[in-house]
Amino acid sequence: MKNDLYKKALDARLKAHAPYSGHQIGAALVLENGQVFTGGNIENASYGATVCAERVAIWKAMSEFPGQKIKEIVVVSDAPKAWPPCGLCRQVMAEFAKADTQVHAGNLQTLQKSMTFSELFPDAFTPEHLDK
């Protein structure tokens, strides 16, 4: 699955809106129900309103299939060394991923890193912390 997601992330990257950073990022994920969603980063002139590719894909997925969990996600950038999900994306993923969700990061040539979500973001703050 990760190679299919990698290709979809590369395609999604081409639709990114990145006039400020100049870095088009792509993401693709598959939910546990098998549905696939993609996203590119969407930047904004008010920089703080920018949304990373991973979160675009996650918003699309969760707005269509609330309650689903992410089974696997790929993010690709044009950097020589793959960019992993940023801290904000990791926190968002903590809401919709599981400990064993597969996370892959790559560049334009190949996937470079693969890990589980718990390896990417150990001791994440999750909805379980709010349980009474």
Considering the complex, what minimum distance in angstroms separates the CB of residue 94 from Zn ion? Answer: 13
Instruction: Write each residue from 14 to 53 as x if it is in contact with Zn ion (CB under 5 A), else as -, in one continuous string.
Output: --------------------------------------x-
Q: Are strands 70-76 and 97-106 parallel, antiparallel or unpaired?
A: parallel
| DSSP helix/strand/coil, 122 | coil
Interacting stretch for Zn ion, rule CB under 5 A, among 22-30, 41-49, 87-95, 100-108? 87-95
* Sign of the CA dihedral with 1 first, then 105, 49, and 24 last: negative
Q: Which residues pair with 38 in a beta bridge?
A: 28
**Measured from the CB of residue 131, what is the shortest distance to Zn ion in angstroms?**
27
| Catalytic status, residue 54 | yes
